[in-house]
Amino acid sequence: MDRNAPIGVFDSGIGGLTVAREIMAQLPGERLIYFGDTARVPYGNRTKETIIRFSAQIVRFLKSQGVKAVIIACNTATAVCAESLRAELSMPVVGIEPAVLPGARTTRTGIIGVMATTKTLASAKYRHLKSIAPKEVRIIDCPCPGLMDCVEAGEFRTPHTMALLREYVEPLVEAGADTLVLGCTHYPFLSDAIRLTAGPGIRLIDPAPAVARQLKRRLDEPGLLN
For the sheet with 32-36, list strands across it.
32-36, 7-11, 69-72, 93-94
User: Among residues 43, 126, 168, 189, which is the contact residue for ligand DGL, using CB under 6 A?
Assistant: 43
Amino acid code (one letter) for 152: E
Stretch that binds ligand DGL, among 11-19, 64-72, 133-141, 213-221 (CB under 6 A): 11-19
The least CB distance from residue 46 to ligand DGL, in Å, is 8
Alpha carbon 40 to chain centroid, angstroms: 17
18 contacts ligand DGL (rule: CB under 6 A): no
204 binds ligand DGL (CB under 6 A): no
Total count of residues recorded for the chain = 226
Residue 182 near residue 42 (C-beta atoms within 8 A): no
Query: Which residue's CB is nearer to ligand DGL, number 111 or number 114?
Result: 114
Task: Name which of 13 and 92 has its Cβ closer to ligand DGL.
Answer: 13
Q: What SS3 state is found at 151?
A: helix
C-alpha span between 5 and 141 (Å, rounded): 39
- Shorter beta-carbon distance to ligand DGL: residue 151 or 198: 151
Active site residues: 74, 184
Residues near ligand DGL (CB under 6 A) are: 11-13, 15, 41-44, 74-76, 117, 120, 148, 184-186
